Amino acid sequence: MVTFSLQPVQSKSTIINNVTVDGAMKTRIFHDELQSLNKIIDELKIQIEGREKGTKMYLENSKALLNAGLLIKDSIDVIREGKDPFLTLFALPLSIIFYLLGLNDVGEVLTRFGLANLLDIVTDKNSRV
C-alpha cells in the first residue's frame, strides 16, 4: 500500500527595496511603454479597418445576390407572361446554350422554333417583331 505525506507549501519571502530610478531610466521606461501602446493602437486600427471592409464587402455581395435574384425573378415573369415574344427573340441563343450544356434535345427544339420564327420574320414584310 502506498501512502502519501502532505507537506505544507512554504512561501519564500521577497524583500522589496526602494528602487530609485533616475530621469533617464524613467524616460526609457515611458518610451518603451508608449511604443507598446502605439503598437496595440495600430493593431486595433487595422482590426477595425478590416471589419469595416469586410462588412462593406458582405453588404455589396448581399446586394449583388439580391439583384441577381430579382433579375432571375423578372426574367421568369417575362417568360410566363409573354412566352411567344420571348421565345421568338431568344430561341436561337438559348438553343446554343442548351447545346453547350449537353441538352441536345432541348437545343434541337429551340433551334427549330427559332429558325421557323426567323424564317417567318424574313418572309413576312408586315411582321411586328
* 64 and 87 within one domain: no
Residue 3 lies in a domain: no
Question: Collapsing DSSP states into helix, strand and coil, what is residue 125?
Answer: coil
Rg (alpha carbons) of the chain, rounded to whole number: 39
Are 47 and 93 found together in one domain?
no
What pLDDT digit, counting tens, does each position of 60-94 carry? Answer: 888 888 888 888 887 777 767 766 666 677 777 77
In a domain, 61, yes or no: yes
For residues 88 and 43, membership in a common domain is answered with no
Give residue 45's pLDDT: 93
Shared-domain flag, residues 92 and 117: yes
Residue the block writes with cell 433579375: 71
pTM above 0.75, yes or no: no
Residue whose C-alpha is closest to residue 95's, from 109, 113, 82, 107: 107
- Asked if the model's pLDDT at residue 125 lies above 80, the reply is no
106 and 128 share one domain? yes
Q: Are residues 50 and 71 in the same domain?
A: yes
Asked if 74 and 41 sit in the same domain, the reply is yes
**Overall size of the chain counted in residues:** 129
Amino acid letter for position 116:
A
Q: In this predicted model, what pLDDT tens digit does every residue of 45-69 receive, in sequence order?
A: 999 999 999 999 988 888 888 888 8
**Average pLDDT along the chain:** 75
Kindly report, residue by residue over 89-121, the tens digit of the pLDDT: 777 777 888 788 888 887 888 777 777 776 676
CA angle 104-106-111, nearest 5°? 90
Domain annotation covers residue 18? no
Domain count, the chain: 2
What is the domain range of residue 86? 82-129
Residue 47's pLDDT is: 92
Claim to verify: residue 75 and residue 30 sit in the same structural domain: yes
Give the model's pLDDT for residue 53. Answer: 92
Contact 118, 95 (CB under 8 A): no
CA distance 29 to 19: 14
- The residues, ordered by sequence, that sit 6+ positions from 89 with a Cβ below 8 Å of its Cβ are 129
Could you tell me if 67 and 90 lie in one domain? no
